[in-house]
Structure 1
């Protein structure tokens, strides 16, 4: 674990704790600047290993070569603009940058810096270079920075950085390459709500967990991810740009905007098919002795069909989800033909199936006739198979 010299270095202590408590052996390599924020004794105590700070320490062990060669994963958190620049240009003036040059394992950078530094063309070019080489560079979060500044550049929460590291490690050494590196993908998640009056809405049981699993796995595979989330209570996945919406119309607007330059769009959200024809400005009252007026519904826009029909460029891959309660495959095949998308993930849903669960099972239908059953298991496992199919088409 590399730690560079930013105020967010204190957050890396939590990341280190999560890595060690999950059974990993961690060697911390701080830069000289990082030690101004968190001392060597802290890193040593939390990792249970000696801390290497310079190429001149334990020279007989050749640490500038051995540390990188032996690692299953290198994660740099926080990664300053300086470290990103050195890594992109192959500079090696300390132990951390030497380790980055010798590492033959996956490398994850979690940047943290002021907004202006992150948005500078030099930093953006360096990030693009690292991603093109297969490194996973997590998009920084938006929030409070040093002092009174607020913007994009905040280190993502350690728990979410850990999840990215876990997903990268889970893919295994034989799948080191970040196969979505350089790609922009859009994922929708959650369930839309259609207001009836100021206190009531029509909604569904979707928790957003499958869409968030898709976002996390895409980040771990190197993609730049835009997550359009409807009414979820889940923490933002590290590295994803999260756009929050409520209704189907808001979902449509946000997804179409994000899809304009996207390589792939995966619509995992449960978008309401209908909405109330009339919105009551005041709460609808219950009147004694009177039955409620019938609820008139109108159709919502079909976002998946619109995405499939009006693609901004011919190489864009569009995938959807079909939540069915009966005749699952027959209904899924009919929906695939009707929506004209490239892939359709068909799963059976119900009060205790899929919605809100940590697990899922599905069949992925392809427009080319391919059918891929995915057995019952974690939603992240299904997400990885979906991205396998998307990456193949890209």
Structure 2
């Protein structure tokens, strides 16, 4: 197959996600990043980001991947020697621990394995049983894409760790806009996310939200070697609606368009679309005979859905077959590599796309000897896809 001539596959991976045509068109514009045009663009993007982060605090765009935003958060708000509590429930939770240790933090790591996320009761009981008296920072991933787990009890935990005087730092790269998340009302001091997941914008941009004066005071006392990721510089330039260094200007135009779509649909409806669509995918594939890796609905991510490979099915062959059918899905990571495949339920994924995804999965598994796949159940499978709500704004021809 000549990949230069073949159509691009449907992206149903945990990012990057499918991008609406009008967002792609917005990429065609570039202006001077020290001009009045850029000042307007910057204000619009920040206002849209405040809307999706649910914050009245400050938000700064960063030309970097989500990992760059996490590094920005750790470098600026964690001191060497700080006691940092971190629940670990997947690859990105572990990566967060690595970031923290590199800046000299004393990390208290609470391991939950790969099939459940923390709960408030369990996390508090473990910390108290360990006799921990000091927590300077609580740092966590909200939605770990590697196994497909979400930290539902984060609001309760954030309120509890505040009793220690801790700052609350959250990596929400993979669920902002796709699941409920509120910086201000949940008591989060700093949160980060990125463009290419549930916001349905191109990759390469990330964002950091700073909601509290306590966080800024901490940043003033932290010495770190980075210039590019310095929040003090971002704040200084943000006051005049600029970035410290040349940003990916055309990507900011695309992000403004993507955030504009979310405003048109309404954030509640945008999240509703993700939730209902995810349930439909889970129900459809379960009826077809697949088994979700995360069995407990409370722990299961809305935006990354993981399924066990059926017995007798070659993981590599299955994903290659899916790619030949024009659909890109992902293998598991680390401990679950080769055991599960992952579906990104993110952003601009229409009903037609979901039908393509499900029929491709069922066809590939039937071809590959998936003995547990029930081809006769396809009528009910398709009914699941036709039953969930979808925003009408995205169903028109955008030319």
TM-score (norm 1): 0.26
Greater share of residues in strand: 1
TM-score (norm 2): 0.26
Greater share of residues in helix: 2
Q: Which has the higher contact order (CA 8 A, sep 6+)?
A: 2
Q: Which has the larger radius of gyration?
A: 1
